[in-house]
Chains A and B, each alone.
Chain A
Amino acid sequence: GENVEQHPSTLSVQEGDSAVIKCTYSDSASNYFPWYKQELGKRPQLIIDIRSNVGEKKDQRIAVTLNKTAKHFSLHITETQPEDSAVYFCAAGYTDKLIFGTGTRLQVFP
């Protein structure tokens, strides 16, 4: 069935280091892959998304890569800062809805 797996569930990095979060999906027909950031007590907010006709997309310190053959996509955050600390969710589009991963709690230590 429809499934999105996300790893790791928690990630701790030192300020200035890079962070990588990985997701795999089950339906090869999926063609839209957004990433959301959720700060404590707040709503999820879109930070970047990628569509299946693109292999990589960058926006300042964040980038997403997509490997359709392997059915996985990743979020890369470079030069991490304390304000990057949050829960990050990946998602994959299925027919007319999104299926979300279970989230990664990123902690950036000064």
Chain B
Amino acid sequence: NAGVTQTPKFQVLKTGQSMTLQCAQDMNHNSMYWYRQDPGMGLRLIYYSASEGTTDKGEVPNGYNVSRLNKREFSLRLESAAPSQTSVYFCASSEAVEAPDQPQHFGDGTRLSIL
């Protein structure tokens, strides 16, 4: 099993461009999450989907949108990229349903630079 797969692994954008980060999991997990990781700030939750068909804002949702396409896939979109969105983005998934009592499994991350 591949686990959680993120694409692309690296991306450079210009300010104002848009792009979508893709995430897919093959573990039949219910919940999926998008985090950003910046130096000294740990993992901050952007958006999450506790079950297929639902999405909710996390700690830092501004400037992002998400789509839970089906149970396997959860995408993150930057409509108009800004330099402050330069970060490493991690997708994660979990068996948890409406309660965070199961481990989250992370993808390898997308390293995004915005010039």
Are A97 and B58 in contact, CB atoms less than 8 angstroms apart? Answer: yes
Q: Does any Cβ of B come within 8 Å of A73's Cβ?
A: no
Residues of B contacting A34 in the complex (Cβ-Cβ under 8 angstroms): 103-104
Q: How far is the CB of B12 from chain A (nearest CB, A)?
A: 17
Pick the contact of A44 from B44, B48, B106 — CB < 8 Å? B106
Interface of A is mostly: strand
Are A96 and B99 in contact, CB atoms less than 8 angstroms apart? Answer: yes
Residues of B contacting A99 in the complex (Cβ-Cβ under 8 angstroms): 45, 59
B: which residues have CB within 8 A of A? 31, 33, 35, 40-45, 48, 50, 56, 58-59, 90, 96, 98-109
* In the complex, the 9 A-B pairs of residues with the closest C-beta atoms, listed nearest first: A93-B100, A102-B42, A43-B106, A100-B43, A32-B101, A46-B103, A96-B50, A100-B42, A103-B42
A: which residues have CB within 8 A of B? 6, 9, 31-32, 34, 42-46, 49, 51, 89, 93-103
Task: Pick 8 A–B contacts, CB within 8 A, sort by A.
Answer: A32-B101, A34-B104, A93-B100, A96-B31, A100-B42, A101-B42, A102-B42, A103-B42
